[in-house]
A and B are shown apart, each in its own frame.
Chain A
């Protein structure tokens, strides 16, 4: 296949889901620790394995049924979350080499992210529950808000490197990390990452005011699959932010994959921390903020980068 070359294709494709699961589990542990700290409970080693306990619990818990669910779409929607996270992570260079080196890797990542629009809506729709559907519609509205600013943020990084190939974007930051002269694009990307992971301030689609929204009717293993998909997307977003804005695997002494991992975990910690730091933003409010503030800001950023590149 043209456009796909010299990645770690075979072994990488086999190991990638497990690697992603590990980083996702790290995110879940961090969140558990921050949650316990916020609640005033002591954070112990047991806190860190809370996600594993919760996963085991969800595995044995019996599924709750709803009346006339569209089970096919419901399951497809839930499963798509983790699948697309793996697809997105496939083009992220782990150190220097991604699992799939793709000529238009930046757009690939974006395309995998848009599949979340379908996944979340289907998960909300499938249960045949009004609350789930409300959550699904909320996610679509939220996606309409963050998508364009995020696309421009991605384009800005690609513009700075003169390539849509993520490896070349990372390589172009040899002297200066993009975050230094594209701070707005970086922040917008992080906001969008919280948005498409429906996490923290942007968890309105699963908001408590809608009894859990998309998650309302999910139980047992179905719920586990969706939650894993969500943490996996947080991990994939953090992993992608490193080659886009933080110099990829560049760093002294240590091997490049270790630098990539360290930076990824740092960004991931920031994203997880955001959940315990900021309240939920209602979608109708975020809509205006995104179109009136974020979009012009990131457009200006793109303009600045275009002028510098020329």
Chain B
């Protein structure tokens, strides 16, 4: 009973915070409303018994939103809601797509004949998730990981204005680089 009440409360919180993202007029509030919505969803995951996925969702989303907030505020013309702003563009189109998607997904959830559960969940869910991800699909996971890392490094390389020739001189002969901000290790 308590779990049902909690699940409903968290569900309402998730939806309400999600709506708030588009209602509030400040980037900071929009970002952290979205975070609140994610945390409520993470709470649902914990209630469903996914101990690991639940807390992992909180961890990932908080870091993500904290960093995203920095960029949102950096790039928005109206960061603090000092002037009226809207998170919604193309209102009619967005509204029809959103309602259409909701109806399709909701109808699917209600109308599809769901299969009955077979078997029991394993005793240690976290271990089971780890094995299903890292057991059979280890190779795929490692390839994806390396590809993501390569993408990130190339992204940073493409974005940075200063390369090693700027730092160490045209013949790379400088002992210490000339950096606008010196690092902590003294390279």
A and B found bound together:
yes
Q: Are A3 and B185 in contact (CB under 8 A)?
A: no
Q: Which of A76, A111, A293 contacts B58 (CB 8 A)?
A: A111
Cα–Cα distance between A3 and B125 once the two chains are bound (Å): 8
Residue B63 at the chain A interface, CB threshold 8 Å = yes
Cα–Cα distance between A191 and B35 once the two chains are bound (Å): 27
Q: How far is the CB of B155 from chain A (nearest CB, A)?
A: 16
Q: Are A2 and B51 in contact (CB under 8 A)?
A: yes
Which A236-283 residues sit within 8 Å CB-CB of chain B?
A: 281-282
Q: Are B49 and A2 in contact (CB under 8 A)?
A: yes
Given known contacts A1-B49, A110-B59, A111-B62, A281 and B29 CB-to-CB distance under 8 angstroms? no
Given known contacts A1-B47, A114-B62, A122-B28, A107 and B56 CB-to-CB distance under 8 angstroms? yes
Q: How far is the CB of A80 from chain B (nearest CB, A)?
A: 10
Cα–Cα distance between A143 and B32 once the two chains are bound (Å): 18
Cα–Cα distance between A73 and B67 once the two chains are bound (Å): 17
- Comparing B90-98, B161-169, B176-184, the segment that makes contact with chain A is B176-184
CB neighbours (8 Å) of B55 from chain A are: 102, 104, 107-108, 110-111
CB neighbours (8 Å) of A137 from chain B are: 70
Given known contacts A103-B124, A285-B183, A286-B184, A70 and B80 CB-to-CB distance under 8 angstroms? yes
Q: How far is the CB of A160 from chain B (nearest CB, A)?
A: 16
Given known contacts A118-B65, A140-B67, A289 and B126 CB-to-CB distance under 8 angstroms? no
CB neighbours (8 Å) of A114 from chain B are: 58-59, 62-63, 66
Q: Are B28 and A125 in contact (CB under 8 A)?
A: yes
Given known contacts A118-B66, A121-B69, A292-B185, A107 and B59 CB-to-CB distance under 8 angstroms? yes
Most B CB atoms within 10 A — which of A122, A125, A284? A125
Q: Are A122 and B32 in contact (CB under 8 A)?
A: yes
- Scoring A residues 1 to 16 as 1 if CB is less than 8 Å from chain B, else 0, what string do you get? 1111000000000000
- For chain A, what secondary structure do more than half of its interface residues adopt (helix, strand, loop), or is it mixed? helix
Q: Which residue of A lies closest to B29 (CB)?
A: A73
Residue B171 at the chain A interface, CB threshold 8 Å = no
Q: How far is the CB of A290 from chain B (nearest CB, A)?
A: 8
Most B CB atoms within 10 A — which of A2, A3, A125, A128? A3
CB neighbours (8 Å) of A231 from chain B are: none
Cα–Cα distance between A68 and B63 once the two chains are bound (Å): 27
Number of interface residues of B (CB under 8 A): 36
CB neighbours (8 Å) of A68 from chain B are: 82
CB neighbours (8 Å) of A174 from chain B are: none
Q: Which residue of A lies closest to B73 (CB)?
A: A125
Q: Which of B58, B59, B184, B185 contacts A281 (CB 8 A)?
A: B184
Q: Are B70 and A111 in contact (CB under 8 A)?
A: no
Cα–Cα distance between A115 and B66 once the two chains are bound (Å): 9
- Scoring B residues 64 to 86 as 1 if CB is less than 8 Å from chain A, else 0, what string do you get? 01110110000000001010000
Q: Which of A104, A143, A288 contacts B51 (CB 8 A)?
A: A104
Q: Which of B62, B67, B70, B125 contacts A2 (CB 8 A)?
A: B125
Q: How far is the CB of A122 from chain B (nearest CB, A)?
A: 7
Which A87-143 residues sit within 8 Å CB-CB of chain B?
A: 102-104, 107-108, 110-111, 114-115, 117-118, 121-122, 125, 128, 137, 140, 143
Q: How far is the CB of B58 from chain A (nearest CB, A)?
A: 4
> Can you report 18 A-B residue pairs in the complex whose CB atoms are below 8 A from each other?
A2-B51, A3-B125, A70-B28, A107-B52, A111-B56, A111-B62, A114-B62, A114-B63, A114-B66, A118-B35, A125-B28, A140-B67, A282-B184, A284-B181, A285-B183, A292-B184, A292-B185, A293-B185
Interface residues of A (CB under 8 A from B): 1-4, 68, 70, 72-73, 76, 102-104, 107-108, 110-111, 114-115, 117-118, 121-122, 125, 128, 137, 140, 143-144, 147, 164, 281-282, 284-289, 292-293
Apart from A3-B125, A107-B56, A284-B182, what 16 extra A-B contacts exist at CB < 8 Å? Answer: A2-B51, A73-B32, A102-B51, A104-B126, A107-B55, A110-B59, A111-B58, A117-B62, A118-B35, A118-B62, A121-B69, A164-B126, A288-B183, A288-B184, A289-B183, A292-B184
